[in-house]
Amino acid sequence: MEELRERGVNFRSLTDSIDTSTPMGRFFFHIMGALAEMERELIVERTRAGLEAARAQTGRLIGAGIPRQRVAITYDVGL
């Protein structure tokens, strides 16, 4: 974002009322970016926890090693 600002480029969203040419717009843009980064990290954390729980329960990942064609036949999606 800083590199774009140095080049005189601003971001303006008409649907979200974000305008990075103003201090408040830049603040809001950075807050939204920080929230998106936090959400991404939470998703990764929950995914890892789920995979670990699956491994602990079965000793392996559920569905690991099942050929795609066998899954398609099982669910009758016709590969």
Tens digits of per-residue pLDDT, 23-56? 998 899 899 999 999 999 999 999 999 888 888 8
Q: Would you give the distance in Å from CA 71 to the centre of its chain? A: 26
H-state helical runs in the chain? 2-6, 23-58, 68-74
From 2-6, 60-64, 68-72, the region with the lowest mean pLDDT: 60-64
The CB-side HSE value for 57 (13 A sphere, CA atoms) comes to 8
Global pTM reads: 0.60
* pLDDT confidence of residue 46: 96
Which candidate, 21, 30, 3, 28, places its Cα nearest to that of 11?
21
What is the rounded CA–CA span in Å between residue 8 and residue 5?
A: 5
